[in-house]
Amino acid sequence: MTASLEKIINQKMAQAFNELGLDAKFAQCKTSDRPDLSDFQCNGALALAKQEHKNPREIAAMIAAKLEQENCFTKVSVDGPGFLNLNLSNEFIAENLQQMSTDKDCGITKTSSPQTVVLDYGGPNAAKAMHVGHLRAGVIGEAVRRIEKFIGNKVIGDVHLGDWGTPMGMILSEIIAADGDLSKTKSYDIDQITEFYKRANARCKEDETAREKARIITAKLQDGVAEYRKAWEHLRKVSVDAIKQNYDALDVNFDLWWGESDAHETCKEIVKIAEEKGISELDDGARIIRLDQSEKPKLPPIILEKSDGGFTYHTTDLATIKMRVDNLKAQEICYFVDQRQSLHFEQVFKAAEMLGIAPNVKMTHYGFGTVNGADGKPFKTRDGGVMTLENLIKLSKEKVQDSMPAAGEVEGYGAAEIERMVEQIAIGAIKFQDLKNNTASGYVFDMEDFAKFDGKTGPYIQYAIARINSILRKAAEKNITLGKIKLTLPQERELALKASQLDAVVWRAHLEKEPSIIADYAYTLAQVFSGFYNAAPIVAEENQALAASRLTLAKLVRDILVLLLNLLGIASLEVMLKKS
């Protein structure tokens, strides 16, 4: 395993500080904000001087003199009030990159203390078509799942299916209204079931008696009445099959297919624990927990058990936490769920703490913003319909097709190959459009440009990879082999420094659970490569050593981009056809 450039420099900084008897906590440096001036910068001398009541420039000068003894730096200068600007030698950068190029993980370091992390990024509801809202949870969660695994954590992705609430009772009630009983339920497919749900929903909105009926049936279902359970099992199975198809199309994967229903028994335990601990009370027939006893309560109380004996969304989440901690030994639980549920999670985390069901377990809600259309309203199809995932994938494929030659136009590429390519690019376009935005902010789905082969898109990066693949094939034909990296042109140096940031970037994405950091970096790296390749020919380069060095750089960048797309859950293609 190699250490990243940033880590090595930070080590050298810390060592210099220590040797000078200075507090090494100020030794941290980072990639320079002014690449025209320096490669790395350290602003620590300013804070240190303040603490020690000394002159910052003098301290900085002392550190600079020490660092200059190291031959990895060509220049260390003190600028402004006491900034340290560090410039690295080409040999040092090249040496580090050379090591990255021979490492199967491109030099990315693994965690030294693996954790068991449970990720909650599903939450689709049985009998409801999946829409773009579910897209974000799945796409972000899948990326985080891959990043966490890569770093070396034990990761468990749980779909946490909504299969247990009132909607289930509503559908059963609607079927009984139509058929007289539940005997025909087993013959219904997903479309029919979704249709029942829509009708039930409309009816319950208007009709109090219908709502009451649905409520009673839900309670009986949860109580285990056989007839309802059997019918429900069919609803659940058909829904899961449909949901799996959607997730498969997006290459979003789960290790566990637990649903809210699986938490039912544990919900009873939660109520019991709350009673035993004396933290719950009866309020109008319902058992509640007051989360905050202060005069101005910040968090409203939660209902654990309704007066009819039913459990709530809060109880289900608490029970699920208990199961994840007891059965899965979770040390960290991350929720990728719509921002609008942030109060719910604040309440759940507080209640979990009071119940003592997850001691020392880190729980975080990574709330994401909404996907909107160009009009700023929730994203719809062109004719105003709900944008289901299926619709979105279809739309994306049409867009991608516009940039590609038709089947038969390019020798060796028939309909099946083209279709496969279109599919991988279309999914990459959808996912990247989502992942390039940071999780917390919502975004406008850019219908015009999201699937273009240039601009900040998934296809652009896939294309950059395919282009390097083509360079590698041509180089092989000309017997150019990989060689020792030597940085001569400024564009080579710029690319080398960019590539050297890989480890730091992936670690930042891991620590912040923020895939957009990787998406951003992949895009910039592809762009910098493009600048490099314009200035530094490979196949046409006559100097063999130079060609071999550049080939190594190109292959490394290809490997990095493939790795990054893989972390984002996006496929890389060996070849990508583009309409001329």
Hey, CA dihedral for 488, 489, 491, 493, is it positive or negative?
positive
Q: How far is the CB of 492 from ligand ARG (least distance, A)?
A: 48
With contacts defined by CB under 6 A, name the span among 118-126, 265-273, 286-294, 521-529 that binds ligand ARG. 118-126
Q: Is residue 439 a contact point for ligand ARG (CB under 6 A)? A: no
Output 136 or 399, the one with its CB closest to ligand ARG: 136
Q: How far is the CB of 263 from ligand ARG (least distance, A)?
A: 10
Q: How far is the CB of 137 from ligand ARG (least distance, A)?
A: 7
Q: Is residue 162 a contact point for ligand ARG (CB under 6 A)? A: yes
Helical axes 516-535 vs 544-568, angle rounded to 10°: 160
Q: Is residue 123 a contact point for ligand ARG (CB under 6 A)? A: yes
Output 142 or 317, the one with its CB closest to ligand ARG: 317
Output 163 or 503, the one with its CB closest to ligand ARG: 163
Output 164 or 521, the one with its CB closest to ligand ARG: 164
Residue 391's CB is within 10 A of a number of other CB atoms, namely 17
Beta partners for 363? 333
Q: Which residue has the tokens 């040092």?
A: 92
Q: How far is the CB of 352 from ligand ARG (least distance, A)?
A: 12
89: DSSP letter:
-
Output 22 or 263, the one with its CB closest to ligand ARG: 263
Q: How far is the CB of 309 from ligand ARG (least distance, A)?
A: 21
Non-local CB neighbours of 275 within 8 Å, separated by 6+ positions: 287
With contacts defined by CB under 6 A, name the span among 105-113, 120-128, 202-210, 370-378 that binds ligand ARG. 120-128
Per the document, the length of the chain is 580
Output 96 or 125, the one with its CB closest to ligand ARG: 125
Contact indicator for 362, 324 with CB cutoff of 8 Å: no
Output 98 or 331, the one with its CB closest to ligand ARG: 331
What x-and-dash track marks residues 304-343 binding ligand ARG by CB under 6 A? Answer: -------------x-----------------x-x------
DSSP 43-80: -HHHHHHHHHT--HHHHHHHHHHHHTTSTTEEEEEEET
Distance, in Å, from the CA atom of 574 to the CA atom of 230, rounded to the nearest integer, reads: 48
Distance, in Å, from the CA atom of 443 to the CA atom of 460, rounded to the nearest integer, reads: 20
Q: How far is the CB of 128 from ligand ARG (least distance, A)?
A: 8
With contacts defined by CB under 6 A, name the span among 3-11, 90-98, 119-127, 248-256 that binds ligand ARG. 119-127
Output 107 or 123, the one with its CB closest to ligand ARG: 123
Q: How far is the CB of 570 from ligand ARG (least distance, A)?
A: 24
Output 133 or 428, the one with its CB closest to ligand ARG: 133
Rounded to the nearest 5 degrees, what angle is found at the Cα of 343, between the Cα atoms of 342 and 347? 120
Q: How far is the CB of 252 from ligand ARG (least distance, A)?
A: 15
N- to C-terminal Cα distance for the chain?
Answer: 43
Q: Is residue 160 a contact point for ligand ARG (CB under 6 A)? A: yes
Distance, in Å, from the CA atom of 569 to the CA atom of 251, rounded to the nearest integer, reads: 7
Q: How far is the CB of 179 from ligand ARG (least distance, A)?
A: 28
Output 44 or 165, the one with its CB closest to ligand ARG: 165
The type of residue at 105 is D
Contacting residue, 41, 76, 100, 120, with ligand ARG by CB under 6 A:
120
Q: Is residue 404 a contact point for ligand ARG (CB under 6 A)? A: no
Contact indicator for 264, 222 with CB cutoff of 8 Å: yes
Q: How far is the CB of 337 from ligand ARG (least distance, A)?
A: 4
Output 367 or 483, the one with its CB closest to ligand ARG: 367
Residue nearest to ligand ARG (CB): 123
DSSP 473-527: HHHHHTT---------SHHHHHHHHHHHTHHHHHHHHHHHT-THHHHHHHHHHHH
Distance, in Å, from the CA atom of 355 to the CA atom of 351, rounded to the nearest integer, reads: 6
Contact indicator for 151, 111 with CB cutoff of 8 Å: yes
What x-and-dash track marks residues 263-302 binding ligand ARG by CB under 6 A? Answer: ----------------------------------------
Output 197 or 335, the one with its CB closest to ligand ARG: 335
Give the distance, in angstroms, between the CA of residue 488 and the centroid of all CA atoms in the same chain.
Answer: 37
Q: Which residue has the tokens 């957009």?
A: 516
Question: Residue 78 — φ and ψ, nearest 5°?
Answer: -105, 120
Binding site for ligand ARG (CB under 6 A): 120, 123, 125, 160, 162, 317, 335, 337
